[in-house]
Structure 1
Amino acid sequence: MENKKVNYFTQSVTETLNNLGVEPSKGLSQVKAHQLKEEIGPNRLEAKKKKPVYKIVLSQLQDWLIYVLLAAVVITILMGEYIDSAIILLVILINAGIGTFQEIKAGKAIDALLKMSSPKALVKREGQTKEIDSAELVPGDLVILDAGRIIPADLRLIETVNLQIEESSLTGESLPVHKDAEATLKDLKTPIAEMSNMCFMSTIVTAGRGTGVVVETGMNTEVGKIANLLDTGVTQKTPLEKKLSELGKTLGKIAVAICLVIFGLSWIQGRDLAEMFLISVSLAVASIPEGLAAIVAVVLSIGVTAMSKKNAIIRKLPAVETLGSVNIICSDKTGTLTLNKMTVTEVYTSDGPRLIDDNQKINLSDSVRKLTEGMILCSDATLENEEATGDPTEIALLVLGDKMEIDRPNLLQNNQRVGENPFDSDRKMMSVLVKSESDFTVYTKGALGSLFNVVDFIFDQNEIRPFTEEDHQNFSDAARKMSNNALRTLALAYKSKTSETTSTQMEEGLVLVGLVGMIDPAREEVKPSIQLAKQAGIKTIIITGDHKNTAFAIAKNLEVAETIDQVITGPELDDLTNQELLEKVENYRVFARVSPQHKVQIVQALQAKGHIVSMTGDGVNDGPSLTVADIGVAMGITGTDVAKNAADMILTDDNFSTIVVAIEQGRNIFNNIKKSVIFLLTCNLGEVLVMFVTLSLGWPVPLIATQLLWINLLTDSLPAIALGMDGDDSEVMKEKPRNAKESFFSQGAGIQVVLGGILIGVITILAFWYGFYELGYSPFDKKIPVEVVKNARTLTFLVLVCAQLFYSLSLRSSKKPFYQIKIFSNHYLNGAILLGLFLQLSLLFIPFLRNAFKLHLPDLNGWLMALGLGLIPFIAMEISKIILMKRK
């Protein structure tokens, strides 16, 4: 391939294909595609360079509290307290290291999600059509385009059928642009907006279909030239992160105020101001929950990565929070509740009905053969070696042809498509014009009601006769019976021509051939998922384009609807005023024959009634409803790129059950974040109370600066993150959806923080007092030996750490006692507690560290006191849960 710049829009289709060395019937070989990718690189835009690790580390140090601590390091050095300065500096570096790890971890998780949600491209390689990641495209690849696809690279079009592309992302032109593969432009200065034979990366197919050959990829595309403008990054904080960040700032201000009061009180009491300055700063660091937002980001990113492994890709992190509040799932039927594998089970022609049995050989009548061959020719689907692309309905028709042993390749080769009138939702039919030798034939397939308007004749016993009222009644009855059996119906008509015809003339004076009935059976796992959602207070609503009877049959089978009165159609919706819809919308469980515009109305009406709504969609026109819904859910397999880009979540398996799994996961993620936050705030409140109460009473300082910083490092990092990574609660779906407006401290969480903090504070103060008492002193005494104070501080230090570490175990569930939870299921928390205890004991048993932290090796009574008091908050929490459980 030539390296020089080629203006492909000035070349004909033949010249372009020759220039790129591509055979249009086969496309590139896998070997050549691999070689080109190795040479050129992947077809993706280069994002902004990631922040180097050293810059992430430096950003962790850019905080006013860190600046104060660094000042404290300098002061301690000047005071000659070199060990204290080293410990403070070490704590600063460890904190920065933990923050750096959290940021890198979150970044990697988000990168993985972005990679998983990258768009796909339908290409022809080695004569076979397949779907691949757009990053795999190389110049020369043949890309097949249809409505809803995002153009994956810059293409020179080689075939177009009513192709329209929306190029506003590149040109600013809001109206779709008509494309013509046969056009050859001569002016080298032709603006991009006027290149009718080209289409460009990131633009969207809005109508028609076509084929293009890749001419530029990655940063060489037109949009690649402005890639810096397109790179938005992934730095937006979620509402929860913002709330907790604000909470952290508020609590920080309160903590700083308390520290200033303590410092002022110490000055009045005549304490050593240099020492109290260090203690006040350390207490501020220990009591401000600066890790809240970071922990939330890590838990969210880890949670959504886990969700992606369960076939739910979260595109927008706020969706995780919203999932816990969803109380209505509006689900499409086809593919989501069903297998999305249509199977023709019945055909109807003038010969009468005929059932299609997989295990029985089908004898073809002239009418059935004509019907099947017409359906195959009037199709955009492909089916090769059991790999299919296209609409499931059309794929089912190809499978029908194979069951009838029709030679599809030969049929297609002898009937070349030369014209087309694409399907649209208004006409509800599509037509193709095919040429066989010198004859032309129009085949039209679509809804029976639509075909009734354009047929004048009927194919009967290999003859054509006028279409009568009796025929109309017979076909209508057949369609109704199929619909009542949850079959989807599709009719076919045709007419022979001696010459080409315009698109408007194609659909008039047609000959009705027959009707096929097909079914898409419900997925086995859907019914239990709907029941699980119902148990969790979530109502399932089916929204579909199918007929009323078909939709109701599936809904009744899945126990979504009980009576036909719970079903309403799109035309019936149109007869309702906005006020009437608002009053009645909660009465319906199935919305049939609806348009994408109806979906928006339904969602808005449900939201107006106070519901949090999840909506599924897969088409181009589903974008508005996915955007309006609280959680927009796109189909990963059948969904168009437009739907995926508009959605908050993508289902990689197109399965309703995955939505329920995602809601369950979302609830667990939120609960885990809540556990972490409650733990942090409880521990920090306990530390502040210990310092404030003891100094207010005029007692010696219970914890020195290095000890406070150590406690903050030990308990505010690993245990808090480990709680956020707790396993899923199997009973979370027995609870009602969380109110979206509910305060984070509702349902007793705020009281739990206050009572837990007070309890930890009280037992720690008791331990401090006991440290004096066991050696015959009182903390109110004026002259107390240094060793006695060291003993009291050691007990305070031990009890505070043990109380916080043990208390984290009771926070794994706010309702279940500890013995009802799998004790060893959270390896991260168990490991964090054991590591914390090991490090704490290391300070006491290693002489150098014991002296550095000014600690005293406790006697037997001291160890028992530390263990006994340390367990009290955990035991108290467990007793309260048992009492509440017995009351319920």
Structure 2
Amino acid sequence: MIMWFSKSQQEALKELNVDPVAGLSGEEAKARLEKYGENKLKGKPKKSLISLFFSQLKDMLIYVLLGAVVITIAIGEYVDAVIILLVIILNAVIGVVQEYKAEKAIEALQKMTAPKSLVRRDGEIEEISSEQIVPGDIVIIDAGRYIPADLRLIQSVNLQIEESALTGESVPTSKDANDVHTDPKTPIGDKSNMAFMSTLATYGRGEGVVVGTAMETEIGKIAKILDEDNDEMTPLQRRLDELGRILGFIAIGICALIFAIALFQKRDLFEMFLTAISLAVAAIPEGLAAIVAIVLALGVTRMSKINAIVKKLPAVETLGSVNIICSDKTGTLTQNKMTVVKYYTLNNLKHVPAAGTGFEASKDEAELIKSFVLCSDATYENGQGTGDPTEIALVVLGDKYDLSKKDLNSRHKRLGENPFDSDRKLMSTLNAEEDGYRVHTKGALDNILKISANALVDGKVVPLTEEMKSSYLKAAEEMSDDALRVLGAAFKDTDRIIAPEEMEKDLTVIGFVGMIDPPRMEVKDSIKDAKQAGITPVMITGDHRNTAVAIAKELGIADSIDQSLTGAEIDELSDEEFSKKINDYRVFARVSPEHKVKIVKAYKSQGNIVSMTGDGVNDAPSLKYADIGVAMGITGTDVSKGASDMILTDDNFTTIVHAIEEGRNIYNNIKKSVIFLLSCNLGEVITVFASILFFWPVPLLPTQILWINLITDSLPAIALGIDPGDKDVMKKKPRNPKESFFAYGAGVRAVIGGVLIGILTLAAFYFGLTEYGYSLGSKNIPEEVLTYARTMSFVVLAGTQLFYSLSMRNSTKSILRIGLFSNMYLIGAIIVGFILQFGVISIPFLANAFSVHNLSLRDWGLVILFALVPLIVNEIIKMFMRGDKME
């Protein structure tokens, strides 16, 4: 790859075979357009709704359910097959709706390219579509125009380009066509002889030769990264996929075991086939996939109310695992506007109030502010500024001390100027005074001191001594150490209008200001909360190391400069070395988009779950590679929003912490739902398997099991999925992404619950048989006796599961401590569940379909008694686990 920044203008022009005076000929431009193609970014084809739909079906649990559909159709159970198919379709539709507009990053990048550009062709300057630009074109740059391609500058006059979307720097970069950078690792932000596609010229003018178009530009590299497939599974998806596989193998194993037992017991093989199907149905929680999708969708709705828009359902849960938040500095941790925070006149350092107007200034201070305001081209009215951010900050400073630019300009008309020059690093204006004229100069302090003969001290002009110079420089150095950008001011009175070259001689230095892009006020507390929750905040920026570390220290992200690393230093490390050392750093400065991706990958290689926040084009690749990409909704580019998983509508870092809290609670709720469903299904498996093993009649029919799995179980499972959040969730460390659903005793609780449900269902079946004088081992039991016994086991199975859901709300706290009625959705689900069970056994056509009949009041009393046992046992176990009295 050619390093154009290391070549002189002449070398670049020769390499591209173009005359800068005439530009390319029309014929040559046409030939190059055919060779290199149009100057627009390419993206992969959009996914159709059909392909999105089928991509939702790539899941082990779905494969198992599809297998169940095929088997149920084969044995003529068409109603069961339709119900299972509806569950599969519901799950897929929810996923499609959430992901339909997820991949917009490349489209947004295409929109960002400038529509029209000025080029020199056949010796004439003409305006053409940016898409028609080719390598070798001579592009004319002036303030306000977007750069249409990557350029090697061949001319520059006071040229400044706003590159924050690409580099993360909040201040426009000064460009110099004459610079040559020999270091091959020069960061993008330091390539002063280059201009990059989709950045904005804010000041001055220039010309450049096109060295890269379309996908060969810096922004094109970002597009390539975004275009790569990087659809990693989230921790939840991995857990569910793993669970699906386990349940699938269990179902196959159970069926095989049933047939082995049937052969050994010499039972009817077709009858055993039907029984095996009922067991397979019992082993698989058919509603699980749909319930998880519904819980996540409800979580997305809830999160939108706290200003976090989640684009992909699984991202909600992934948030709960996040233990690293990588944040862009400019506009995310900071306000993205330069602000004067200190000013200095000789031996007098003052802090500028953060907000408000009408502040008083001494005579020297007033003269300092007056010079800065008059020597600025920016405007600031009604909270909106135009022009260079540094100059806007100076005008805002004037407003705070009632020295408004509008008022000063009307009283001191500008009569001449010497514009800013990157060599002089100074700007001067000549303004009218009541009794003559005054030159106002601003710029680099050391340059100001070199051209000053006097100093303003206590309202008097006195000779500038070496001691005074040392005082100014020492104070300026202290500000620089605090990462403040220092800008000096001086003046000179004259009795005539003087030429620009005469302005910057024998000046009177007044003082200087220190400015910075300040941190957001609320971020410090958010970072404290994140640390308490075991989350490590990390700053990644294109800005300079000292500035970045100063902001990081103020916010509590880093303690010292030793915790920082630059992009150039990252390049010196191998991927392996970098990954090993990654946890030692909290600040990464002067980084490129490729560095950001490398940082995210390094953190992920250490087993971290990484969230990356950002708002610029330069953040898009790392947003995509992170486990959770978080874009800013207000200041964020369309590109960053397209590449992200979540968008903050208020651009508030605090919202990320709230979203993580919400994500943790959502995962916990999903876990409750999964464990609850598995307990219920284990109870069903134990019931059916025990009856086969001991040669008893089967207490439950496949249709009855399917009804309970899809209707009775599902309502409490969804209600558990929207359980009110645990208030202590942010006092715990992030969940290990490798952690199983069955960690921390959840597996034991599932087994205990399943065993209790299974035993009680068998007990109810046994009671039903003994009512008519039969036992579990009896032969030739009449059909009506079996129907009564199965009705008892069917209703007890549903009842035990409904009441057991109350105990699933918390693994250690009793139901009374967390509040019996604090989740009214669950209470409603239990009531509706019993109503549905009553309807199934009492409405004739439903009773016939499910082979059940009505129960007496006495039977219902027994059912409720049986149903309460798992809840009571589980609450007693919790009491012993806590070692305190039941509450």
TM-score exceeds 0.5: yes
- Residue type at the aligned position of 1:708: I
Q: Does 1:326 align with 2:322?
A: yes
Gaps of 5+ in 2: 1-42, 121-129, 154-164, 167-195, 205-213
Gaps of 5+ in 1: 1-43, 77-84, 120-133, 135-148, 161-168, 184-190, 212-220
- Residue type at the aligned position of 1:474: S
Number of the residue aligned with 1:402: 399
Q: In the aligned structure 2, how far is the partner of 1:837 from the partner of 1:536?
A: 41
* Contact 1:323/1:666, CA 8 A, preserved across alignment: yes
Q: 1:310 aligns to what SS in structure 2?
A: coil
- Residue type at the aligned position of 1:347: Y
Q: In the aligned structure 2, how far is the partner of 1:714 from the partner of 1:765?
A: 21
Q: In the aligned structure 2, how far is the partner of 1:876 from the partner of 1:98?
A: 33
CA shift in 2, pair 1:512/1:252, >3 Å: farther
Q: Output one character per residue of 1:170-206: Cα deviation in whole Å (capped at 9) or x when no partner.
A: 9999x999853689xxxxxxx9999x9xxxx999524
Share of identical aligned residues, percent?
44
Of residues 574-583 and 387-396 in structure 1, the stretch that sits farther from structure 2 once superposed is 574-583
Number of the residue aligned with 1:240: 236
Compute the displacement of 1:474 (Å): 2.2
Q: In the aligned structure 1, how far is the partner of 2:250 from the partner of 2:649?
A: 47
CA shift in 2, pair 1:770/1:618, >3 Å: same
Q: In the aligned structure 1, how far is the partner of 2:789 from the partner of 2:394?
A: 84
Number of the residue aligned with 1:27: none
Q: Output one character per residue of 1:249-288: Cα deviation in whole Å (capped at 9) or x when no partner.
A: 3311321331243255446656555554344334323422
Q: 1:491 aligns to what SS in structure 2?
A: strand
Q: Does 1:108 align with 2:108?
A: no
Q: In the aligned structure 2, how far is the partner of 1:262 from the partner of 1:601?
A: 53
**Which of 586, 590, 600 is matched with 1:595 structurally?**
590
Describe how 1:726-805 pairs up with structure 2 within 5 A.
726-805=723-802
**Which of 861, 864, 886 is matched with 2:883 structurally?**
886
* Contact 1:603/1:629, CA 8 A, preserved across alignment: yes
Compute the displacement of 1:722 (Å): 3.2
Q: 2:699 aligns to what SS in structure 1?
A: coil
- Residue type at the aligned position of 1:104: V
Q: 2:398 aligns to what SS in structure 1?
A: helix
* Contact 1:342/1:392, CA 8 A, preserved across alignment: yes
Compute the displacement of 1:763 (Å): 1.8
- Residue type at the aligned position of 2:881: L
* Contact 1:722/1:828, CA 8 A, preserved across alignment: yes
Compute the displacement of 1:778 (Å): 0.5
**Which of 840, 844, 847 is matched with 2:841 structurally?**
844
**Which of 280, 283, 298 is matched with 1:284 structurally?**
280
Number of the residue aligned with 1:5: none
Q: Does 1:653 align with 2:613?
A: no
Number of the residue aligned with 1:864: 861
Total equivalences in the alignment: 752
- Residue type at the aligned position of 1:103: A
If the length of structure 2 is used for normalisation, what is the TM-score?
A: 0.68
CA shift in 2, pair 1:604/1:282, >3 Å: closer
- Residue type at the aligned position of 1:323: L
* Contact 1:372/1:400, CA 8 A, preserved across alignment: no
Compute the displacement of 1:686 (Å): 1.8
Describe how 1:18-417 pairs up with structure 2 within 5 A.
50-51=49-50, 69=69, 72=72, 76=76, 88-89=78-79, 91-110=80-99, 151-152=111-112, 155-157=115-117, 179-180=139-140, 205-206=198-199, 208-209=201-202, 238-263=234-259, 265-266=261-262, 269=265, 271=267, 273-314=269-310, 319-329=315-325, 336=332, 344-349=340-345, 353=349, 356=352, 358=356, 360=358, 362=360, 374=372, 383-387=380-384, 395-403=392-400, 404-408=402-406
* Contact 1:664/1:733, CA 8 A, preserved across alignment: yes
Q: 1:875 aligns to what SS in structure 2?
A: helix
- Residue type at the aligned position of 1:768: F
Q: In the aligned structure 1, how far is the partner of 2:370 from the partner of 2:381?
A: 18
CA shift in 2, pair 1:483/1:760, >3 Å: farther
Compute the displacement of 1:785 (Å): 2.1
CA shift in 2, pair 1:629/1:785, >3 Å: closer
Q: Output one character per residue of 1:797-823: Cα deviation in whole Å (capped at 9) or x when no partner.
A: 111111222222222222222122244
CA shift in 2, pair 1:379/1:820, >3 Å: farther
If the length of structure 1 is used for normalisation, what is the TM-score?
A: 0.68
Q: In the aligned structure 2, how far is the partner of 1:368 from the partner of 1:430?
A: 23
- Residue type at the aligned position of 1:401: G
Number of the residue aligned with 2:809: 812
Number of the residue aligned with 2:34: none
Q: Output one character per residue of 1:222-244: Cα deviation in whole Å (capped at 9) or x when no partner.
A: 99xxx9x9999998753532441
* Contact 2:611/2:630, CA 8 A, preserved across alignment: yes
- Residue type at the aligned position of 1:875: I
Q: Does 1:665 align with 2:662?
A: yes
Q: In the aligned structure 2, how far is the partner of 1:398 from the partner of 1:171?
A: 41
Compute the displacement of 1:781 (Å): 1.0
Number of the residue aligned with 1:163: none
Q: 2:739 aligns to what SS in structure 1?
A: coil
* Contact 2:452/2:507, CA 8 A, preserved across alignment: yes
Q: Does 1:831 align with 2:828?
A: yes
* Contact 1:694/1:700, CA 8 A, preserved across alignment: yes
- Residue type at the aligned position of 1:815: T
* Contact 2:325/2:612, CA 8 A, preserved across alignment: yes
- Residue type at the aligned position of 2:849: A
Compute the displacement of 1:394 (Å): 5.5
Q: In the aligned structure 2, how far is the partner of 1:478 from the partner of 1:237?
A: 54
Q: In the aligned structure 1, how far is the partner of 2:822 from the partner of 2:646?
A: 29
Q: 1:515 aligns to what SS in structure 2?
A: strand
- Residue type at the aligned position of 1:596: V
Number of the residue aligned with 1:36: none
Q: 2:811 aligns to what SS in structure 1?
A: coil
**Which of 692, 702, 705 is matched with 2:702 structurally?**
705
Q: In the aligned structure 1, how far is the partner of 2:667 from the partner of 2:508?
A: 60
Compute the displacement of 1:796 (Å): 1.1
Describe how 1:569-580 pairs up with structure 2 within 5 A.
none
- Residue type at the aligned position of 2:692: L
Number of the residue aligned with 2:683: 686
Cα RMSD (Å)? 5.9
- Residue type at the aligned position of 2:92: E
* Contact 2:325/2:535, CA 8 A, preserved across alignment: yes
Q: In the aligned structure 1, how far is the partner of 2:801 from the partner of 2:645?
A: 38
Q: 1:730 aligns to what SS in structure 2?
A: coil
Q: Output one character per residue of 1:817-845: Cα deviation in whole Å (capped at 9) or x when no partner.
A: 21222444444433333322211110112
Compute the displacement of 1:600 (Å): 8.1
- Residue type at the aligned position of 2:871: F
Q: In the aligned structure 2, how far is the partner of 1:420 from the partner of 1:620?
A: 29
* Contact 1:339/1:522, CA 8 A, preserved across alignment: yes
Compute the displacement of 1:636 (Å): 4.1
Number of the residue aligned with 2:171: none
Q: In the aligned structure 1, how far is the partner of 2:427 from the partner of 2:292?
A: 55
Number of the residue aligned with 1:479: 476
Q: In the aligned structure 2, how far is the partner of 1:301 from the partner of 1:458?
A: 70
- Residue type at the aligned position of 2:668: N
Compute the displacement of 1:795 (Å): 1.2
- Residue type at the aligned position of 1:707: Q
CA shift in 2, pair 1:625/1:264, >3 Å: closer
Compute the displacement of 1:783 (Å): 2.6
CA shift in 2, pair 1:459/1:699, >3 Å: farther
